Structure 1
Amino acid sequence: MKMASNGVCAGRGFWVVFLVLLRLGCSEGQRVPAAFVFGDSLVDVGNNNYLPVSFAKADFPHNGMDFPTKKPTGRFSNGKNTADFLAEKLGLPTSPPYLALISSSSKSNSSSSFLTGVSFASGGAGIFDGTDEKYQQSIPLTKQVEYYLAVHENLVQHMGSSGAKKHVAKSIFVVAIGSNDIFGYSGSSKLRKQHTPQQYVNLMASSLKDQLKRLHSYDARKFVFVGLPPIGCCPSQRNQNKTAACNEDTNSWSRMYNTALLTMLKGLQSELNNISYSCLDTYAVVQNFVQNPSAYGFAEVKAACCGLGNLNAKVACLPISQYCPNRQDHVFWDLYHPTEAAARMFIDKVFNGSTQYTYPMDVQQLAAVEV
């Protein structure tokens, strides 16, 4: 795929982009040149708004009620999400949705739009193709990587091969995906007959490895991996139990995948030997929120803030749904996703100084790695 350059690639326009890049590289507080984000609804900042038949959308109230604009943005949150807070810590603007940048109405689909990063994340997406069947349409990881290759081609056209390589190699690649694959396994008797849980998570890790090698071949060198949380404790899973307890099967599969992910990453680093990464123990952080909520300022860990029915988890966060008056004391915004408060606290825990929750280094250390 080739994207329109609006004439920036020639002559004087090239130097405009080059000077912009120099300014970006020297801006105060900016730790890396760019962040490229891959994942699902936990980090989607609006890509699904541009998928015409997708059911996995958040472009309506009450989503976004605490966002600075007070309007829904396509984030599955009452406000900012994990991608926003990570960008803030890195000294970057939030990476814009790729589909917004290349939409026919966009006037900014030149390389300058991509200099500080792009988000390819999509609600409903999984490591495997087809995890989006329930929601009709999302951008699976394989397609997200293809979109990145198009962005990389565009950067090369405008910055030259060497310039693009240096820019991208110093940037952060965020990967937050896998929950929908676990939900897919949980809800499919066919998959459970075909694969044991261990076989399935190993396939997840192996498939992810294939995509990481594609990214590496296009200059990606520094990765942040957001491990799976205890997804069995989200309101939609608790709602399936009469006691509102967590679903221990899905939690165990999440832990199993996180272990497989770490094993795969250690092997990949030995194989490629010029990549660096920070793997975030999302499971431990969120489990602490759930088991000791008052220590983190939370009061409600079972029910969603926005929804209807038992635990506000019978109906998703729709305009007809009720919402809690205090979003700060809820861990969950809707039946699947964290509140802005939980997302902020999560990034605070993993960005710097917390070896308890990161391996082999925290995100701040990763950003400082010389390439």
Structure 2
Amino acid sequence: MSQCVSLLTILLFIFCLSYSDAQMVPAVFVFGDSLVDVGNNNHLELSLAKADFPHNGLDFPRKKATGRFSNGKNAADFIAEKLGLPTSPPYLSLRSLSNNSNNAFTMGVSFASGGAGILNETNKLFRLYDLGARKFFVVGTGAIGCCPTQRNQNKTGECNHETNYWSSKYNEAVISLLKEIKAEIKEINYSFFDTYSVFLNFIEKPSLYGFTEVKAACCGLGNLNAQVPCLPISTYCTNRTDHVFWDLYHPTEATSRIIVDTIFSGSQQYAYPISVKQLISM
């Protein structure tokens, strides 16, 4: 694990060792919450943050709910595809394996868990540096105030501007912190992805991305489908590709696909100070 790339609130590690010509990196290690959970919470008996039931997975292969908070694939799936790799399996699905499970780890593992948060004692950069992390891909928070549950709190159905303000301030602080870390540790390199601006583009110019519904969730009940979560009793839209949001908080498969496409191939106006492709090739 001599070098790695990590991805945000989604923390996602890409370890750069030897690999085949079809792969950009040999393995992907994912750390994050429900945005990139691919089934870890299915194995947590006491967790209420689960998506292992319909209508989740409606557009996933075999139309199966896998624990992804999405109608289909999420960002972790698409990132793995871009790198020429299978999606990293949930760590908790490997716990029952024998000591040979260490071999499975070399192919990538997902530690992402729906409802996960960040604590100072579990998020020490140098907990990561000492393990060999050198390249960090950090994805900023999106325009959280525009998700259906936030809009539902406004009589007008507009974005919650205060929430968006604090989301943008958080991103500013992250960029400042990354600059400080780079100044202190010269051998670290990073790329910061401006998810906030990309999401605002979806909201303000939806037709450019094939969207027609930016306010309401596809799956749920009540105003904007945001008063009841996506449950088996909920209704869901017939065309998921024209919705930005799948449920109260999470993007549709179509949204996740565009975000990852932008991460890898989009304009550098969304990446600072270098793109993820440049970061991986360093």
Whether TM exceeds 0.5 here: the answer is: yes
| Residue 252 to residue 341, structure 1, CA distance change in 2 (3 Å) | same
CA 1:109–1:237 in structure 2 vs 1: closer, same or farther (change >3 Å)? farther
Out of 131, 141, 159, the position equivalent to 1:246 is: 159
The 5-angstrom pairing of residues 258-273 of structure 1 reads 258-273=171-186
Task: Determine the C-alpha separation between the residues in 2 that align with 1:64 and 1:348.
Answer: 21
Matched residue SS, 1:54 = coil
Distance in 1 (CA, whole Å) between partners of 2:100 and 2:138 is 28
Partners of 1:59 and 1:75 within 8 A in 2: yes
Q: Which segment is superposed worse, 347-356 or 245-254?
A: 347-356
Answering whether residue 133 of structure 2 is matched by residue 220 of structure 1, we say yes
- Does 1:119 pair with 2:141? no
Letter of the structure 2 residue corresponding to residue 117 of structure 1: G
Instruction: List aligned pairs for 1:109-148, cutoff 5 A.
Output: 110-128=101-119, 142=122
* Equivalent-residue separation in structure 2 for 1:332 and 1:256 (angstroms): 23
Runs of 4+ in 1 over 4 A off after TM superposition: none
Cα pair 1:64 1:79 within 8 Å, conserved: yes
Considering only CA atoms, is the larger Rg found in Structure 1 or Structure 2? 1
1:31 corresponding residue in structure 2: 24
| Correspondence for 2:218 among 298, 305, 314 | 305
> Does the 8 Å contact 1:101/1:108 carry over to 2?
no
Q: Which residue of 2 aligns with 1:274?
A: 187
Q: Which has the higher helix share?
A: 1
Cα 1:109–1:358 change in 2 (3 A) is: farther
**CA pair 37-246 structure 1, distance change in 2 beyond 3 A:** same
2: CA distance, partners of 1:246 / 1:291? 11
How large is the Cα RMSD of the aligned pairs?
Answer: 1.6
Query: Could you say what secondary structure the match of 1:317 adopts?
Result: coil
Q: Is 2:19–2:26's contact at 8 Å kept on the other side of the alignment?
A: no
CA distance, structure 2, for counterparts of residue 35 and residue 338 of structure 1 = 21
Deviation at 1:108, TM superposition (A): 8.1
Gapped runs of 5+ residues in structure 1?
1-23, 130-140, 143-207
In the alignment, structure 1 residue 235 sits paired with structure 2 residue 226: no
Q: Distance in 2 between matches of 1:309 and 1:108?
A: 49
Amino acid at match of 1:62: H
CA distance in 1, matches of 2:69, 2:105: 23
For these two proteins, the number of residue pairs brought into alignment is: 266
Normalised by the length of structure 1, the TM-score is: 0.69
Superposed, 1:76-115 pairs within 5 Å as 76-102=69-95, 104=96, 106=97, 110-115=101-106
